[in-house]
Amino acid sequence: MHPIGLRQFHDLVPLPTTESDEEGFYYFFAQASLRKLLMETLDVVGYRVGQIIYAPVMGAELRKQAEEWYDHLPPPVRFPISAAPLFDIRKSFLRLQYEALHAVILWPSVHQLLESNSTRGHEHLQVGDHLASVQKECQEFIKHCVVTAQLAEELLVRRHLGLQYTIWAAYAMLSMLLITYRLPGLGFIPETRDDAYIKKAYAALRNWEHLPVLRRGLDRSRKQMKRVNIQLDEP
């Protein structure tokens, strides 16, 4: 989201607490803590300064924190790690954001692998365990993108308080899947050869194309799909 100055207080203002056992409070606290982790992630991997920072140790720590967040979710807002429909808008929203967060954390690994395949100066990636580790992270990245695209379907069929963030997450995953589609450097990942996930995310987002900001984004997506020969089932 566009910075409005609140982030400078993240380290000064503690997360809220309550003695109430209402489900609404659990959902609010889960959102607040996950949002805080996302902001930290955007800083670490470089999105806020316009570059991609490959820092595998920091990435591993961020993923660990995300998993700890999930492990500590109370039963009223706990969701299964799967793509099965939940018919619970709160749990579904938290699950999509959780999956999208992992994709954001892992994107620098994809960027690093592709860069090492196209330029010199990254020969260290071609050595044994390090290369295998980066390739595994790339596989996990694609998996989280695919799952997020599947989860977006349930959340994009009607209006809800998290709709704006759902649209942004789904569009980000659509864009990432388009960027990685049929790239030779990612040929070892079967999902990068399958356009079904791209079409699924695109179809879900089409429900909201009347929004100007999304219409412009989908126009760009259609041009990219045409360039990579993805045929859409529409007039």
Mind listing the pLDDT tens digit for each residue in 146-205? 999 999 999 999 999 899 999 999 999 999 999 999 999 999 999 999 999 999 999 999
Q: How far apart are CA 148 and CA 220, in angstroms?
A: 20
Q: Which of 106, 117, 137 is nearest to 44 (CA)?
A: 106
Of the pLDDT bands very low, low, confident and very high (cuts 50, 70, 90), residue 24 is confident
Flag whether pLDDT at 100 surpasses 50: yes
Average pLDDT over the chain, rounded to whole?
87
Tokens of 75: 């039963």
Tokens representing 46? 């470089």
46-55, 58-67, 69-78, 203-212: which has the minimum mean pLDDT? 46-55
The whole-angstrom distance between residue 226's C-alpha and the CA centroid of its chain comes to: 24
Q: Dihedral, CA atoms, 164, 91, 176, 203, nearest 10 degrees? A: -70
For 32, the token pair is: 């607040």
Confidence of residue 121 (pLDDT cuts 50, 70, 90): very low
pLDDT at 44: 76
Domain boundaries, the chain: 22-227
pLDDT band, residue 48 (cuts 50/70/90): low
3-state SS class at 79:
coil
Q: What is the pLDDT of residue 13?
A: 77
High-pLDDT (> 70) share of the chain, %: 87
Q: Say if residues 156 and 187 touch (Cβ distance below 8 Å).
A: no
Segment 77-89, tens digit of pLDDT: 999 999 899 999 9
For CA atoms 65, 68, 70, 75, give the dihedral sign: negative
Does the pLDDT of residue 46 top 70, yes or no? no
pLDDT band at 39 (very low <50, low <70, confident <90, very high): confident
Rounded distance, CA 91 to CA 85, Å? Answer: 10
pLDDT at 106: 94
If you write DSSP's letter for every residue of 158-177 in order, what string do you get?
Answer: S--TTHHHHHHHHHHHHHHH
The residue length of the chain stands at: 235
47 against 37, higher pLDDT:
37
Residues 6+ apart with CB under 8 A from 133: 56
d(CA 174, CA 168): 10
| Cα separation, 94 vs 62, whole angstroms | 17
Helices of type H across 45-88 = 56-71
User: Over 50: is that where the pLDDT of 71 sits?
Assistant: yes
Q: What is the SS3 assignment for 98?
A: helix
Report the C-alpha gap between 177 and 20 in whole angstroms: 42
Residue 7 clears pLDDT 90, i.e. is over it: no
